[in-house]
């Protein structure tokens, strides 16, 4: 296998199914050695199985690629550290980290239990932070030893993190946090040769099939129609971001869906009024009303008004 990721060592979390699986297979097809991390849990995080990760490894090896499975919990320090150690000890390095692992526990806010909140924030946000931390420590050590690497991180956010999603307060908050983490990591790690970007994908996976069953159905087999919601449509951008080809691209957030790629433009100053003194509450309200009339309306929260 040869391609844009030739010779790179790539770690993908949550790579046993869905988007992570598609990313792992695409990196392998592009020439990378891949560490496939997955706990094999159910869609709500329950249970565990080594099967999904090993199935992906088997598929990569059957196609002539190199891969190995890692079953550690990347939302723990031990699991995240062992993920990086495994890549370095088995393949000699870590060049690209794709943080993708996650699950859902959807509830309206008034019905959400603390455990539903903690579990989702843990797997998505802590599960991004810890692998990033331990990979960054290795890249820093390499840079200090005079071996500055062309390292890449691709984090997985969501449209829910950018706009919000009704019934997904925990997931939306975690995915918004991933965007903030991406921006900070890009600023802090550039000195070590690390580029960090985030992706908000839309595809048919276990996490989306129930919510978007009508719009995400696959076309009939043999129809020749483009499967717009196939996870494999997202992976080419992830592979490019994880390769040397993306040199100079960092601190960015992208949306990817079907054949569409969008550069997302985040918070930036809009209309402003400066009194150069203290407002009264009434004055502040009148000024704010005026500013809102000049501002661009925010995008609609997913599920609002349904």
- Summarised one tens digit per residue, pLDDT across range 40-69 is 655 554 555 578 899 999 999 999 999 999
Q: Flag the least confident range among 77-91, 141-155, 217-231, 287-301.
A: 217-231
**Taking residues 247-264, what's their average pLDDT?**
94
Mean pLDDT of the chain: 90
List, in sequence order, every residue forming a beta bridge with 153; answer none if it has no partner.
97, 196
**Taking residues 233-254, what's their average pLDDT?**
95
Considering the chain, what percentage of its residues have pLDDT values greater than 70? Answer: 89
Helix ranges (H only) for 145-272 are: 159-163, 169-189, 235-241
**Taking residues 163-175, what's their average pLDDT?**
93
What confidence score (pLDDT) does residue 4 get? 96
- CB atoms under 10 Å from CB of 269, counted, come to 5
- Checking if the pLDDT of 244 tops 90, the result is yes
Q: Is 235 a catalytic residue?
A: no
Residue 196 near residue 241, CB atoms below 8 Å: no
What is the C-alpha to C-alpha distance for residues 9 and 113, in angstroms, rounded to an integer? 39
Confidence at 225, pLDDT banded by 50, 70, 90 = confident
Question: pTM score, two decimals?
Answer: 0.89
List, in sequence order, every residue forming a beta bridge with 98; answer none if it has no partner.
12, 154
What is the C-alpha to C-alpha distance for residues 243 and 17, in angstroms, rounded to an integer? 22
Annotated active-site residue in 158, 165, 186, 243? 158
What confidence score (pLDDT) does residue 50 get? 73
Q: Quick one: tokens of 130?
A: 């810890």
- Checking if the pLDDT of 216 tops 90, the result is no
**Taking residues 26-52, what's their average pLDDT?**
80
Annotated active-site residue in 33, 82, 175, 246? 175
Confidence at 215, pLDDT banded by 50, 70, 90 = low
Packing angle of the helix pair 18-29, 51-62 (nearest 10 deg): 20
Most confident of 121-125, 165-169, 208-212: 121-125
Q: Quick one: tokens of 32?
A: 């990378």
Q: Flag the least confident range among 37-51, 226-240, 270-284.
A: 37-51
Annotated active-site residue in 171, 172, 192, 235? 171
Instruction: Identify the sign of the CA torsion 263, 267, 268, 273.
Output: positive
Instruction: Identify the sign of the CA torsion 138, 132, 103, 251.
Output: negative
CATH superfamily of 9-264: NAD(P)-binding Rossmann-like Domain (3.40.50.720)
User: Across 71-114, where does the E strand assignment appear?
Assistant: 96-99
Q: Is 175 a catalytic residue?
A: yes
Q: Is 171 a catalytic residue?
A: yes
Count Cβ atoms within 10 A of the Cβ of residue 99 and give its class: 0-12 exposed, 13-18 middle, 19 or more buried.
buried
**Taking residues 81-103, what's their average pLDDT?**
97
What confidence score (pLDDT) does residue 41 get? 55
Sort strands 96-99 and 151-156 into parallel, antiparallel or unpaired.
Answer: parallel
Q: Is 176 helix (H, G, I), strand (E, B) or coil?
A: helix
What confidence score (pLDDT) does residue 25 get? 97
Sort strands 260-264 and 33-37 into parallel, antiparallel or unpaired.
Answer: unpaired
Angle at 100 between CA 149 and CA 200, to 5 degrees: 100
In the sheet that 253-257 helps form, which strands lie side by side, from edge to edge?
Answer: 66-70, 33-37, 9-12, 96-99, 151-156, 194-202, 253-257, 260-264
First-to-final CA distance of the chain? 47
């Amino acid at each position: 296998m040869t391609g844009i990721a030739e010779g790179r060592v790539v770690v993908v979390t949550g790579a046993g199914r869905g988007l992570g699986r598609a990313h792992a297979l695409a990196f392998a097809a592009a020439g990378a050695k891949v560490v496939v991390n997955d706990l094999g849990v159910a869609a709500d995080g329950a249970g565990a199985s080594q099967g999904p990760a090993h199935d992906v490894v088997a598929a990569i090896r059957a196609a002539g690629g190199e891969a190995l499975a890692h079953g550690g919990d990347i939302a723990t320090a031990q699991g995240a550290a062992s993920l990086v150690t495994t890549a370095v000890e088995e393949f000699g390095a870590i060049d690209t980290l794709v943080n993708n692992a996650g699950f859902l526990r959807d509830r309206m806010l008034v019905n959400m239990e603390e455990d539903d909140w903690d579990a989702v924030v843990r797997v998505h946000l802590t599960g991004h932070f810890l692998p990033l931390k331990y990979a960054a420590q290795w890249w820093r050590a390499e840079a200090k030893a005079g071996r500055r690497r062309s390292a890449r991180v691709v984090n997985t956010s969501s449209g829910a993190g950018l706009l919000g999603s009704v019934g997904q307060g925990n997931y939306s908050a975690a995915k918004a946090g991933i965007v903030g983490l991406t921006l900070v990591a890009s600023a802090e790690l550039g000195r070590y040769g690390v580029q960090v970007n985030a992706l908000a994908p839309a595809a048919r996976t276990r996490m989306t099939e129930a919510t978007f069953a009508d719009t995400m159905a696959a076309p009939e087999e043999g129809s020749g129609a483009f499967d717009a919601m196939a996870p494999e449509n997202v992976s080419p951008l992830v592979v490019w971001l994880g390769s040397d080809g993306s040199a100079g691209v960092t601190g960015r957030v992208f949306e990817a869906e079907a054949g569409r790629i969008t550069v997302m433009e985040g918070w930036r100053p809009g209309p402003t009024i400066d009194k150069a003194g203290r407002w009264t509450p009434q004055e502040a309200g009148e000024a704010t009303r005026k500013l809102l009339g000049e501002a661009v309306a925010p995008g609609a929260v997913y599920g609002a008004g349904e």
